[in-house]
Chain A
Amino acid sequence: MNTAIENHWYPVAMISGIDGPRETLLLGKKITLGRKDGTCWVKDATGKALPTVERFGHLWTSPGQPNRDLFTIPEADSPGRRLVDVGSVKVKCSPLRAVENFLDIAHFPFVHTDILGAEPHTEVDRYDVKIREEVDEVWATKVKFYQPQAAKSAAGGITTEYMYRVPAPTCSVLYKTCPPRPGEWDIITLFVQPLTDEWCEVWPWMALYDDESTMSEMVSFQQLIFMQDRSILENQIPRKLPLDPGMEVPTQADMTSVAYRRWLKKIGYTYGAQLVAA
């Protein structure tokens, strides 16, 4: 283990779901978490208290010494948004594979058929990708895709615009056209807790403008989408994400993934990664 991996913040629980002390795994090590007098705590296996942050409805911790605050999503604070705790899904895959899948658009017509995509609208147009050095994040912008049902709140097919942001190695934030409020972005996140390097607990969270759907309907919609991905994720080979070229041949649609892998390599984040092309 090294500081390039340990010094990050990781999601470990949905705050509203903590009802008593509970054990879980973080980076292959046992931790315990709970809540006392309204404040969450986390301890490692030796009983040492670990740092905590409560943000986006989730409890975050770090086994190391994070050298910066957990990222923020200022847009999520704007009034009128509904904050949706989606709950967690466990997946037997590398945490980096889970994030990479979230960044991919090309699979929509085949995995999320008639919802996030549909044949013959399979082409991914060119978009912009950048590692923003000043904030040390990966960003993809001007991503456009035709979607039969972009959100629970969408009435019919629309061309949806996306922006993807990777603010931490196991987290991604998606900004997406908001069907009932053109001009605003819906926010959908994927927070991944690396239980081990090939097993993760995924905590999606959303901040949406939607005055029509019930909370249960919004949760169902997101769980449906994520469970469609799960069986694909569990069958990807190689199981760890290759950071060196050679094993997998990217296409233009994979520019975000290429930038993500390059950035992981640059910051030395190798947990769940495969370093030498087999």
Chain B
Amino acid sequence: MILYDYVLSASCYKVRLMAALLGTPLILRAVNFHPAREHKSPEMLALNPKGTLPILQDGETVLTDSADILRHLTMDHPEWRSPDDDRWLAFASDLNESLGLARLHDVIGYEADIDTARAAGVTALRKLEAHLTEQRFDGLIFLTGKAPTIADIACFPNTALAPDGGFSLDPYPSIRLWMRAVRSLPGFIEMPGIHRLHELAHPA
């Protein structure tokens, strides 16, 4: 499987992370999203007329939506699926349009209605915090239950990268614990802005 990838993209990281957790090898093709806007080049548009990343190519199949890609990767891994996933995959795209947009604005100067994005981002974080707190009351650490599913992998990147876009995660203890749980998963990989757990891995 080939992933057309941009190293700083939260949505591409969803795919890299999911594949790493599954132990599924990916061939990465670096696309110069910034500054060269290579995702809008004729070659890339031929592959994906929407001009977006990520793009996953698996034989004849070409997928351009990160939720579809997560479903595709976990086709034969029912343990990574829950009936509640769809709701959180939709929520993940809200995160992308609020937290993710604010991050692109702050980091690479993307055009955005930044006040609207920030307000929507805070609303989304509060919603996530409320849900994860309810889950903790029920003894559940992940979004849909005791074990992680594609719902968690879809929502984790933009949440964890929120500080890049000027959001503090300090007011959200349940989100922070959940992020810790995701970062503790065997096979977890980091991306710039999301560090691995080495600071607390070996208590004195």
Q: Does the CB pair A223–B34 fall under 8 Å?
A: yes
| B163, B166, B192, B198 pick with most chain A CB within 10 angstroms | B192
Contact of A90 with B107 in the complex, beta carbons under 8 Å:
yes
B46, CB-defined interface residue at 8 Å? no
- Supposing A216-B30, A224-B192 touch, asked if A89 and B107 sit within 8 A by C-beta, the answer is yes
- With beta carbons under 8 angstroms apart, the residue of B34, B38, B193 that contacts A230 is B193
CB pairs A–B below 8 angstroms (7 shown): A88-B108, A89-B108, A113-B196, A215-B36, A216-B30, A219-B32, A227-B7
**Complex: A110 Cα to B190 Cα, angstroms:** 13
Q: Does B35 contact A (CB under 8 A)?
A: yes
Residue tally, chain A, CB below 8 Å to B: 30
| A88 and B35 contact, CB distance less than 8 A | yes
A227 to B6, CA, bound (A): 13
Give min CB distance, A218 to chain B, whole Å. Answer: 9
| Chain B, 129-153, CB within 8 A of any chain A CB | none
Chain A residues, CB < 8 A from B6: 220
B107–A230 contact, CB under 8 A? Answer: yes
B31 located at the interface, meaning its Cβ lies under 8 Å from any Cβ of chain A in the complex: yes
**Residue A17 is within 8 A (CB to CB) of chain B in the complex:** yes
Q: In the complex, what distance in Å separates the CA atom of A92 from the CA atom of B191?
A: 20
Q: In the complex, what residues of A have CB within 8 A of residue B164's CB?
A: 227, 230-231
A213 to B, closest residue via Cβ: B30
Q: Known contacts being A89-B107, A90-B109, is A228 close to B193, with CB within 8 Å?
A: yes
Which of A92, A217, A219, A221 is the most central at the interface, judged by chain B CB atoms within 10 Å of its CB?
Answer: A219
Contact flag A87-B35 (CB < 8 Å), given A113-B196, A224-B8, A230-B192 = yes
Tell me if A85 counts as interface (CB < 8 A to partner B).
yes
Give chain A residues whose Cβ lies under 8 Å from the Cβ of B94: none
User: For chain A, what secondary structure do more than half of its interface residues adopt (helix, strand, loop), or is it mixed?
Assistant: helix
Does A216 lie within 8 Å of B106, measured CB to CB?
no
Q: Give the distance to chain B from A61, nearest Cβ to Cβ, in Å.
A: 18
Q: Which of A186-229 contact B (CB under 8 A)?
A: 201, 214-217, 219-221, 223-228
Q: How large is the interface on B (under 10, 10 to 19, 20 to 34, 35 or more residues)?
A: 20 to 34
Residues of chain B lying within 8 A (CB to CB) of residue A119: 198
Q: Which residues of A contact B (CB under 8 A)?
A: 14, 16-17, 85-90, 92, 110, 113, 119, 201, 214-217, 219-221, 223-228, 230-231, 234
Q: Is the CB of B108 within 8 A of A228?
A: no
- In chain B, positions 36-84 with a C-beta closer than 8 Å to chain A are 36, 38
Contacts of B8 in A (CB 8 A): 223-224, 227
Chain B min CB distance to A23 (Å): 11
Other CB < 8 Å A-B pairs besides A215-B32, A216-B30, A227-B164, 15 of them? A85-B35, A85-B36, A87-B34, A90-B106, A90-B108, A113-B196, A216-B31, A216-B36, A219-B35, A223-B8, A223-B192, A228-B193, A230-B192, A230-B193, A231-B163
In the bound assembly, the distance between CA atoms of A86 and B34 in angstroms comes to 8
CB distance from B56 to the nearest CB of A (A): 17
A110 to B198, CA, bound (A): 9
Give the Cβ gap from B162 to chain A, nearest Cβ, in Å. Answer: 11
Q: How far is the CB of B135 from chain A (nearest CB, A)?
A: 27
Chain B proximity of A222: nearest CB distance (Å): 10
Residue on B with the closest CB to A111? B195
Do A231 and B193 form a contact, CB below 8 Å, given A90-B107, A224-B8?
A: yes
**Given known contacts A227-B8, A230-B164, A230-B193, is B107 in contact with A216 (CB within 8 Å)?**
no
The 3 closest A-B pairs by CB, nearest first: A87-B35, A227-B192, A216-B32
Which of A87, A215, A221, A224: most chain B Cβ within 10 A?
A87
A217 to B196, CA, bound (A): 23
Bound-complex Cα distance A216 to B163 (A):
26
Chain A positions within 8 Å of B30 at CB level: 214, 216-217, 219-220
**B32 contacts which of A14, A92, A110, A220 (Cβ < 8 Å)?**
A220
**Residues in chain B near residue A216, CB distance under 8 A:** 30-32, 36, 38
Cα of A228 to Cα of B6 in the assembled complex, Å: 15
B32, closest chain A residue (CB)? A216
Q: Which residues does chain A contribute within 8 Å of B192, judged by CB atoms?
A: 223-228, 230
Chain A's nearest CB lies how many Å from the CB of B19? 17
Interface string of B152-184 (1 = CB under 8 A from A): 000000000001101000000000000000000
Q: Bound state CA distance, A90 and B164, in angstroms?
A: 10
Cα of A254 to Cα of B6 in the assembled complex, Å: 34
